Amino acid sequence: MEGIRPPPTLCLDSANMAKTWNSWKEEFTLYTDLTMPEAEETTKVKLFNYLLGERGRELLRTLMGGATSARVTHCNPAVNETVERYRFFMRNQGTSETIDTYVTELRLLARTCNFGVIRDSLLRDRIVCGLNNPSLRERLLREKNLTLDACIQLCRAAELSRENSKTISGATVEEVHAVRVAARQTQFGDAVDSEAVQDHDEKLRQFLSRCRQKNIKLNADKFKLKQKETTYIGHQLTCNGLKIDPEK
């Protein structure tokens, strides 16, 4: 165990002193258990005081009461319950965040909220309200006597179902996006085309709309369309010009 390094000097300037203290204390305990299991407690205390650093030892001397309780009180200040609950109730599921990760984060936030016996019901409510899937939320709201465990299981099942559906369809969102990007990158002079006629028609409508907004007039001798005619905002655009759509 000679290669194991001791923890660094405790940083007293951390923005989150409680987290820094707990992490440092855990690292110190692991270090002493691995490298000096047979050492006397007095030796461990001396190492502890040494690793506190000069500022830490000075602070320890000025604090009132027992050494251990004083350190714990200083490094773990009172939690503002209102702020902690605000963070909990404002936590929504991220766009690409899995349900298990979301639930874990909510459980961690709930630890400092002092919810007591209503903790599970509030976790369930936050999961339902914070989901990134509106359809799944509606499904859960229709459930009678929905428990926390049932809520999590239904969310996991829905998540797995979406992943399986993507696998079966053979096209992910990224693949579809890549096709659209490739279509937009067609060089000038190439024929405007698409795998779907509907997609081509939609692009043509968008093009005509932009021309109309910018007051651009098209030269009939140079402008060629894949289709002989197309309908747009109650009008028909043909090789002979623009006319009212007879079906309107």
Q: What is the pLDDT of residues 163-210, one digit of tens each?
A: 888 888 765 555 555 655 555 554 444 444 445 566 767 777 777 777
Q: How many CB atoms lie within 10 A of CB 201?
A: 16
Which whole number is the average pLDDT over 73-96?
Answer: 85
In tens, the pLDDT along 109-167 reads 998 899 999 999 999 999 999 999 999 999 999 999 999 999 999 999 999 898 888 88
Residues 154 and 212 in one domain: no
pTM for the full model? Answer: 0.45
Angle at 125 between CA 120 and CA 131, to 5 degrees: 125
Count of structural domains within the chain: 3
- Which residue segment(s) compose the domain that 107 sits in? 81-169
Give 191 or 53, the one with higher predicted confidence: 53
Asked, for residue 86, whether it belongs to a domain, the answer is yes
Confidence of residue 71 (pLDDT cuts 50, 70, 90): low
Is 174 within the bounds of a domain? no
Identify which has the larger pLDDT, 218 or 184: 218
* Residue 21 within any structural domain of the chain: yes
* pLDDT per residue as tens digits for the range 13-22: 666 677 788 8
Provide φ and ψ at 237, rounded to 5°. -100, 115
CA distance 117 to 45: 40
Same domain (yes/no): 165, 89: yes
Contact at 8 Å (CB) between 43 and 36?
Answer: yes
**Domain co-membership, 98 together with 71:** no
Judgement on whether residues 141 and 158 belong to the same structural domain of the protein: yes
Would residue 1 count as lying in a domain? no
DSSP bridge partners of 242: 237
